[in-house]
Amino acid sequence: MRLIDDWRTVLRKAWSVKFNVAATLFGAAEVAVAIWKPEGMPNGVFAGGAAAVSIFANVSRLLAQKELHGTDK
């Protein structure tokens, strides 16, 4: 396995990466809610958020992004 040549740029600017980080945070929040069981917090709220953000990550992976192609027009 080999990294792409512009991996640093992709890591900083790609929306798919940003959405995946958000999905990870939602997933971690769901685990925290399951452990601490705060009052009034329904089960699955953060899991639903993580699922929605994951969908955005997959869609954004397929879209061309000007920031990644060096054209700021």
Burial class of residue 17 (count of CB atoms within 10 Å of its CB; 0-12, 13-18, 19+): middle
- Give pLDDT, residue 42: 85
Give pTM, 2 decimals. Answer: 0.79
Q: Tell me the residue range of the domain where 64 lies.
A: 6-70
Would 1 be classed as within a structural domain? no
* Residues in the chain where the model's pLDDT stays below 50: 71-73
49 domain-assigned: yes
- What is the number of other CB atoms lying within 10 angstroms of the CB of residue 23? 19
- Overall domain count for the chain: 1
